[in-house]
Structure 1
Amino acid sequence: MVLSALQGANLAARFALELSALGALAYWGFQLSASPAVRVLAGLGAPLVAAVAWGLFASPRATVQLPAPAQLAVQLAVFASAVAALVAAGRPQMAGALGVAAAVNAALLAWWDQ
């Protein structure tokens, strides 16, 4: 009973982390020192590209079913780009927190075969 609650919480945390990664990419884009048009394009475009890639290749109901290692690579790319975006936007502590949380979550997903 407790284990199933923890597993459910881990899945909910994964969803929150996915949304956090999209938010990090948007934050980076809107914080660029560029023209307003470039900031809007990056702030909307970067999370859109990540969300499309996740939906096509990495989500549990992905349109394109990849082998597990390739699916993991897409997930890693999205989270790594979000962490890098936060570092580039001058938020290294947030980047570290996101990276650690995503890594712990991924380890638990693998441990519990979710």
Structure 2
Amino acid sequence: MSSRYGFHPLALGVRFVLELVALACFGLWAWVTASASLRYVSVVAVPLVVAVLWGVFATPDDASRSGGAVIATPGPLRFLLELAVFFGGAAALYAAGFRALAVVLAGVLSVYHLLSWDRVLWLLRH
């Protein structure tokens, strides 16, 4: 019997916060790396593009989301996308010069995904 932690409302709340943190990290990276003339555009555009890709590609019937999908995506591919967004946010934070925070975030993300093993397995099977 699975723990169902990955689908528990508390875990989904933590996941939502981690998603917002990842998007903020992409925005921070855009702010730090963009030229002064593009800074304000990129700080909005980069997280927006990530968020749209994040929301459009989904595995149908994923109980941790609405269950619907704009573009139906196999679970293993969705899991790779999730890893790219979450850990990409940590990498963006690292690239922006916040190395210690990036390492902490990567550790938190690793623990979250280990605790949500039931959802990870669900994705890999769908």
Q: TM-score over 0.5 for the alignment?
A: yes
Identity %: 33
TM-score, structure 2 length as denominator? 0.74
Give the Å deviation of 1:80: 2.5
Give the Å deviation of 1:33: 5.8
Q: Secondary structure in 2 aligned to 1:10?
A: helix
The separation in 1 between residues aligned to 2:80 and 2:5, in whole angstroms, is 28
The separation in 2 between residues aligned to 1:43 and 1:13, in whole angstroms, is 24
* Counterpart among 89, 99, 102 of residue 96 in structure 2: 89
Give the Å deviation of 1:5: 8.8
* Counterpart among 60, 65, 70 of residue 60 in structure 1: 65
Give the Å deviation of 1:38: 1.7
Aligned to 2:38: 38
The separation in 2 between residues aligned to 1:111 and 1:22, in whole angstroms, is 25
| 1:73 and 2:80 correspond | yes
RMSD: 2.5
More helix per residue: 1
TM-score, structure 1 length as denominator? 0.81
Q: How many residues align?
A: 111
Query: What letter corresponds to residue 23 of structure 2 in structure 1?
Result: L
Aligned to 2:19: 18
Aligned to 1:27: 28
The separation in 2 between residues aligned to 1:90 and 1:80, in whole angstroms, is 16
The answer for unaligned runs of 5 or more in structure 2 is 59-63
Query: What letter corresponds to residue 41 of structure 1 in structure 2?
Result: V
- Select the structure with the greater relative contact order (CA < 8 A; seq sep ≥ 6): 2
The separation in 2 between residues aligned to 1:101 and 1:21, in whole angstroms, is 12
The separation in 2 between residues aligned to 1:14 and 1:52, in whole angstroms, is 17
